[in-house]
Amino acid sequence: MGSGTEAEFSAFVQRRWPQLVRLGFVLTGDAGLAEDLAQTALARVYASWSRICRSGDPDAYVRRVMVNANRSRFRKRRVPEQLTGAVPEPPPADQIRGCDDRMALLAALMGLPPRQRSVVMLRFWLDMTETQTAEELGCSVGTVKSQASRALAALRASAGLVEEVSGEQR
């Protein structure tokens, strides 16, 4: 890899790193694992940088690597104490009232099952279409729809988040 290409990759890493770690955090629930996941994905991208650049969408590639790597990790890894900051279920709103709203939303998000979390992230944070999300996650559009619907219902069920999620006025 030439120095020009390396500089290009380095700039890509600098630009995308925060977003990738945040995506990794939502996927894994752990900041350390999130960084590992982002590093793994970027290292794979680096290994094929020229080809990926030619394909024209390194962002999509790196995201897909992260989602797949996490799926693989989650399927097979069974650890008695999960190394995760994930909330298995969102705490009721009265329990988180008084916390920072962003913290509450993050806690509720982390309380979603991993697949729903992935769908929410891709659909609503990365603003992908249902079709794109389905392609990224390797599932059907119907699955994306149902998972998104369940995720939103779960987020709404956190009463403190009703206003935030639905945009309804009190």
Which one-letter DSSP state was computed for residue 161?
Answer: G
Smallest distance, other proteins to C-beta of residue 55, A: 17
Distance CA 78, CA 97 (A): 33
164 scored as a contact of other proteins (CB under 8 A): yes
Q: Are 91 and 107 in contact (CB under 8 A)?
A: yes
Nearer to other proteins, 69 or 144 (CB): 69
Nearer to other proteins, 47 or 140 (CB): 47
Instruction: Report the site for other proteins in 18-47 (rule: CB under 8 A).
Output: 18, 21-22, 25-26, 29-32, 34-36, 38-40, 42-47
69 scored as a contact of other proteins (CB under 8 A): yes
Distance CA 155, CA 137 (A): 21
Closest CA to 26 of 112, 103, 92, 90: 112
Q: Which two tokens stand for residue 122?
A: 């891709």
Smallest distance, other proteins to C-beta of residue 57, A: 18
17 scored as a contact of other proteins (CB under 8 A): yes
Smallest distance, other proteins to C-beta of residue 112, A: 11
Helix axis angle, 141-157 relative to 130-137, nearest 10°?
A: 100
